[in-house]
């Protein structure tokens, strides 16, 4: 499964209902959809810190919810996509909370800073409670994956935050096992008054790819720079720990930060990454220090990203299946250098695709438009994952076909499930595999086996990662 290392340790008909629909997930039990009965909100007997995150379009709903939770003796703050702007303050808020409430919507799904926070909470194992702000919205992609793993999911009433919603939410909060935070977290009230903005000195170096680092990452940065130059990539290298250093992040298309402990402690490096976030430039991080991982603001900035661990020449070019970490990094960066179409261009392409599908359907149906099919939220009727139990090895297997080991030169990897505009493509497959990182060799063998049996199977082979582990696994699951 590629060469990058992940941080992972391991529309529709509107529904008119006066009841909250709640989904409770468990690692071992199947999710169920239940309607809650009228109940009284539970008050917190212990200090529980609750963080409500939302897009600014749902800010009024979040503020009302915060006020109601404070009345129930919960400590509560609201974090929106635009405020606070400081990555230090945002990371501190997420580390401060015991439970992470996410009010999700279409706007939330599209906002980079919203997705950044929920990815950060997911990685740090903070219990996530999902509230659907729109009854006809189903999260997809990375947000869909994270929402499916939430400890509790509910749908707002048509009237907003009713007594019923509040009762369901308060019960979910008080039932969470609160983990003791070993980190020194600053009181959010003090962070609000702290202005830690970095005055970044902007450079004027024009380039497609910008590699930035500090002194203790310079050797790895030089290694990456020389590899990119040898492959005819337009790349520049800047050491931000040098006197009077300037960063040309505004002039590049893709930023490749070489991360070290000193990088995290350098204000100018934080300014460079915050500027890249603000401009929504692709960030492809490389960790250059063994047995170290970023924390706080830096961890938030790269939350959900595919991370490459390159420490020296040996680790960069060490064979990994039929590739290496350096080639995986180069392929990922090259993919992100491609021009991104504007929203208008994407919508135009989608409209064209939909018109073609409509014409195709008209030719197959006797009547048009077809009878409307009611949509249900019951996940018991939705497609479920197929659970396969591997049998014990047999010394005398019944061989009914030939198994052939594949490589890049023998067979093409499964085609992407999205087109060049990022839209999902309809493909007929017999089987789709989602798996944990440590099982990629087993999945590869299964893919080889099924290919020989002429079974149409898809999974993300050879690291077509799309930059986000959750996004990759959701590519086919939510089509």
Residue of 197 and 92 predicted with greater confidence: 92
Token pair listed for 85? 């702007």
The share of the chain scoring above pLDDT 90, in percent, equals: 0
Query: Averaging pLDDT over each range in 212-221, 323-332, 408-417, 425-434, which range is the top one?
Result: 212-221
How confident is residue 283, by pLDDT bands cut at 50, 70 and 90? confident
Give the integer Cα–Cα distance in Å for 408 and 109.
Answer: 35
pLDDT at 81: 81
Give the integer Cα–Cα distance in Å for 346 and 70.
Answer: 43
What the chain holds in terms of domains, given with CATH numbers, is 21-192 (3.40.50.450), 209-336 (3.40.50.10140), 386-479 (no CATH)
Residue 405 has pLDDT above 70, yes or no: no
Residue of 204, 277, 217 lying closest to 247 (CA atoms): 204
Q: Which residues contact 8 (CB under 8 A, 6 or more apart)?
A: 123, 436, 437, 469
Residue 140 has pLDDT above 60, yes or no: yes
Residue 367: how many other CB atoms lie within 10 Å: 7
Residue 198 has pLDDT above 60, yes or no: yes
Give the integer Cα–Cα distance in Å for 387 and 368.
Answer: 39
Give the integer Cα–Cα distance in Å for 198 and 207.
Answer: 23
Edge to edge, what strands does the sheet with 21-24 contain?
32-35, 21-24, 152-155, 128-132, 99-104, 49-54, 75-80
Token pair listed for 452? 């020989």
How confident is residue 479, by pLDDT bands cut at 50, 70 and 90? very low
């Amino acid at each position: 499964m590629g060469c990058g290392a992940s941080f992972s340790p391991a529309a529709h008909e509107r529904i008119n209902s006066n009841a909250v629909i709640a989904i409770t997930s468990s690692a071992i039990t199947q999710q169920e959809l239940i309607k809650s009965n009228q109940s009284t909100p539970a008050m917190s007997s212990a200090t529980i810190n609750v963080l409500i995150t939302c897009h600014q379009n749902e800010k009024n709903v979040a503020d009302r919810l915060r006020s109601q939770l404070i009345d129930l003796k919960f400590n509560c703050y609201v974090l929106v996509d635009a405020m606070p702007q400081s990555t230090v303050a945002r990371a501190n808020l997420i580390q401060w909370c015991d439970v992470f409430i996410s009010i999700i919507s279409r706007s939330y799904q599209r906002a980079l800073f919203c997705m950044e926070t929920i990815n950060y909470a997911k990685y740090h194992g903070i219990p996530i409670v999902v509230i659907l702000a729109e009854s006809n919205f189903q999260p997809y992609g990375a947000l869909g994956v994270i929402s499916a793993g939430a400890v509790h999911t509910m749908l707002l009433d048509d009237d907003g935050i009713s007594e019923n919603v509040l009762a369901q939410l308060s019960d979910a909060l008080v039932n969470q096992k609160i983990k003791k935070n070993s980190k020194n977290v600053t009181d959010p009230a003090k962070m609000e008054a702290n202005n830690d903005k970095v005055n970044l000195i902007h450079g004027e170096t024009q380039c497609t790819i910008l590699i930035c680092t500090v002194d203790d990452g310079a050797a790895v940065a030089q290694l990456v720079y020389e590899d990119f130059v040898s492959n005819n990539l337009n790349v520049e290298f800047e050491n931000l720990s040098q006197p009077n250093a300037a960063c040309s992040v505004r002039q590049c298309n893709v930023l490749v930060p070489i991360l070290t402990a000193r990088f995290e402690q350098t204000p100018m490096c934080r300014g460079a990454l915050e500027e890249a976030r603000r401009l929504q430039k692709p960030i492809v991080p490389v960790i250059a220090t063994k047995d170290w991982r970023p924390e706080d603001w830096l961890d938030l900035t790269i939350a959900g990203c595919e991370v490459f661990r390159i420490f020296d020449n040996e680790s960069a070019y060490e064979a990994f299946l039929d590739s290496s970490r350096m080639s995986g990094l180069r392929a990922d960066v090259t993919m992100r250098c491609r021009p991104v179409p504007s929203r208008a261009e994407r919508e135009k392409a989608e409209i064209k695709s939909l018109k073609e599908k409509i014409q195709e359907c008209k030719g197959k149906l006797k009547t048009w438009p077809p009878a409307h099919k009611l949509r249900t939220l019951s996940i018991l009727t939705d497609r479920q994952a197929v659970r396969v139990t591997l049998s014990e090895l047999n010394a005398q297997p019944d061989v009914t076909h030939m198994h052939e080991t594949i490589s890049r030169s023998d067979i093409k990897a499964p085609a992407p499930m999205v087109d060049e505009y990022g839209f999902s493509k309809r493909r007929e497959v017999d089987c789709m595999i989602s798996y944990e990182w440590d099982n990629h060799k087993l999945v590869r063998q299964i893919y080889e086996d099924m290919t020989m049996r002429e079974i149409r199977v898809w999974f993300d082979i050879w690291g077509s990662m799309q930059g986000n582990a959750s996004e990759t696994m959701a590519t086919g699951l939510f089509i």
